[in-house]
A and B are shown apart, each in its own frame.
Chain A
């Protein structure tokens, strides 16, 4: 153990003590001092170990470039496991590390206590190591190109996983391929049953687990659906899907708590630093660094800044107990919806803007509209909601998807490319219904070629379904 490590260990212990005395509750944290390169690698891969894919290389290159050009630097990285791992940048000054260590403890407190993290596995480093190993084996066995092509396609839809599957009726549990072959009678039976009480849907999964096949429930978990029902996939490809799905499920709570968690950690590192005996020079350094972290970014929204502002505001008007409760129960969406106040919107000069002609123009600055727009952007992790309608489209085994249009159109270029990737996985044709400029449109992809037509047919189908 060299001197730096020894002194950092002492400091980490002191800070842990301060953090605990302030009320933070966290599992043990292993700190590692790593060179910039390693930190950027972990940043790009999201983990110290992960499977190989060029998209991570691209992210790594971008992060490293920004570091080399002095555009941005990461000071730390925390992995949500038990014990937690935190990586400190080699060459951080002592005062920087003090701030970072405080920040890390608050993050770990959040991971350990926030409800959205309740279900994340605590041994994810090992699991991802095993995933990486499997993918490597598949590369050896089936060729790098085939594995890459499969990963390209699966990663393109990695967000389309049902993150709330544990609280929703498990529609796929009993599903069989014939679910849409003779759906009518059974569907009606089910719908009829459903209507018997306005709250039945809440208990639906409890009541209905016994019914074997074919619900008319739309499926949100595209990955799981493909994994189970894609007709032409080989076993190893299904495994690739399940690997990506598991990792996606692990990362999602972090995505949906970015603002609140960064705000929380920033709020607490400032408080912890106040408790420490800092020299004048250190205090100045700390103030500088803290202000860099919460620097408002032009036009975009710095999650650290927005988050910490809300926490500070709450701390000024509410008792501390209330804050502990919030960190257990809220995610970004609810945090913004419930606690972004008029005062904050005005103090932070938040506004909405959009493209008008060739210009980006301010459209609104009323606080509710700003809040609602932020909330809308956070729905479903900021991703469009794509659901599976059926796996036997037009009786020919096609996959039928629908974009739940919630006011914003999809990027058409991306839609077409992604649809082709889904079709690669499904094998047979894939259709996607969406709305473009207020018109229902159907995109169909077969053999990698995408065509577009007005959607009238699928509407009929829905009529038929109801």
Chain B
């Protein structure tokens, strides 16, 4: 039906073949774009990782309890090259009407040529997208960095206790364990088979009933408790509270990955210790001196009362400015030693904005047990390092 035209024939050199092929292949194997896109994403993540110290202390995440995302102006990776300064050159544009010199096209942003959709930057093709870094993204990247070395395996079987596991459905059972969904389904099925009129009411007969049944199984549930201790003496201000809050925020979430149940108890102290609510813990300040031994004693008592070390993984963390009453140091150290013995990891953090080294820190340094992790935080972005030191 198709005759090659004369012109085409004359073009012998070019038109090697008059055959025109339209084909369709299976392109599903071409995943390359996705692979390289993944690599790009990885590299962006690397950059997030470099900024992690700043990102994890972001108020919008901590104060919203991880429900809100934090927005950071995130560039996709830039492809550097020698290029002209966009702001220093003349551009040519096209108007819908005659444009006269002096007419204003726009301010700084929205300079038109920058490319639609990618947002407006200072220069063309600058790919800034306001990336929402979600709590999950941050958590994934952060937790990749953290380790839990003293997960005491031998403890697991010990805390086994029987627990019912509902894993079967039967036709007979206790009415309290009736499986409503399955019962209803049975009823619908039965009536559908019976081909009754559609308007007939759904009725549950005894043969529809289904019951959940259980087996008892030994349960290797793992429990962890965080004993959050904080110095609430006069010298601990908003900054120190925020630092500790950030630390505990991530700590709780990290431990939840590893243990089925993670509890947190809040112990505040100045010269005396007491248990407080979370809100009080992070907001209330009191005056007076500091006696750290008081809270260590309180923690030990609490463990003895509620958290037998045989059943619980214990994580005491203490934040203070380290300004402990000198005469208390010896006592604090001996109590700390006991605490270290029964715990998986003990964190001791001094939040210092001035540069003196406290006596309590130097005292505690004498405890050589690797389970005791000592950190000093001077700036908000050091929370990240503190987390890495404690969980490494």
**Interface of A toward B, CB cutoff 8 Å:** 1-2, 4-5, 8-10, 12-14, 16-17, 20-21, 23, 25-35, 37-38, 40-41, 44-45, 52-58, 60-62, 64-66, 69, 71, 82-83, 90, 112, 155-160, 296-302, 305-306, 346, 348-355, 358-365, 370, 373-374, 376-377, 383-384, 386, 403, 408-412, 414-415, 417-418, 421
Which of A25, A41, A354 contacts B91 (CB under 8 A)? A354
Given A54-B43, A57-B36, A351-B95, residue A361 in contact with residue B103 (CB < 8 A): yes
Closest 7 CB pairs of A and B: A57-B36, A299-B112, A60-B33, A57-B37, A38-B27, A417-B80, A349-B95
| A409, B83: Cα distance in complex, Å | 9
B257 at the interface (CB under 8 A from A): no
Question: Residues of A contacting B91 with CB < 8 Å?
Answer: 299, 352-354, 373, 377
Q: In the complex, which of the residues B21, B43, B84, B93 contacts A30, with contact meaning CB atoms closer than 8 Å?
A: B21
* Bitwise interface map of B from 23 to 59 toward A, beta carbon under 8 Å scored 1, else 0: 1110100101111111111110000000000000000
Contact yes or no, B98 A28, CB < 8 A: no
Measured between alpha carbons, how far is A65 from B82 in the docked complex, in Å? Answer: 27
B interface residues (Cβ-Cβ under 8 A, vs A): 1-5, 7-8, 11, 14-25, 27, 30, 32-43, 76-108, 111-113, 116-118, 123, 127
Which among A20, A158, A298 is the interface contact of B8 at CB below 8 angstroms? A20
Kindly list chain B residues whose C-beta atoms are within 8 Å of the C-beta of A28. Answer: 15-20
Q: Are B23 and A32 in contact (CB under 8 A)?
A: yes
Inter-chain contact A361/B105, CB cutoff 8 Å: yes
Give the contacting residue for B127; candidates A62, A351, A361, A374; CB below 8 A: A62
Tell me, in angstroms, the Cα distance from A376 to B104 when the chains sit together: 23
Tell me the nearest residue of chain B to A40, going by C-beta.
B33
Contact between chains at B33 and A33 (CB < 8 Å) = no
- Chain A residues with CB under 8 Å of B93's CB are 298-301, 350-353
Closest to B91 in A: A353
In the bound assembly, the distance between CA atoms of A383 and B82 in angstroms comes to 7
Are A384 and B98 in contact, with the CB atoms below 8 A? no
A57-B33, A299-B93, A411-B86 as given contacts; A5 in contact with B22, CB under 8 Å: yes
Query: Would you give the shortest CB distance from B111 to chain A, in whole angstroms?
Result: 5
Q: Is the CB of A41 within 8 A of B98?
A: no
Contact B40–A54 (Cβ < 8 Å): yes
* A-B contacts besides A4-B24, A362-B100, 17 pairs, CB < 8 Å: A10-B1, A29-B20, A52-B35, A54-B77, A57-B33, A57-B35, A296-B94, A297-B94, A300-B112, A301-B94, A353-B90, A360-B105, A360-B112, A362-B105, A384-B82, A408-B89, A417-B78
> Within the assembled complex, what's the spacing in Å between the Cα atoms of A160 and B83?
11
Which residues of chain B are within 8 angstroms of A82 by Cβ–Cβ distance? Answer: 16
Specify the chain A residue showing the minimal Cβ separation from B80: A417
23 A-B residue pairs with CB within 8 Å: A16-B8, A30-B23, A41-B30, A52-B35, A53-B39, A159-B82, A160-B82, A301-B92, A301-B94, A302-B94, A348-B94, A350-B93, A351-B92, A352-B90, A359-B105, A360-B105, A360-B107, A373-B92, A408-B89, A412-B85, A414-B83, A417-B78, A418-B82
Task: Give the distance to chain B from A258, nearest Cβ to Cβ, in Å.
Answer: 15
| Complex contact A13–B2 (CB within 8 A) | yes
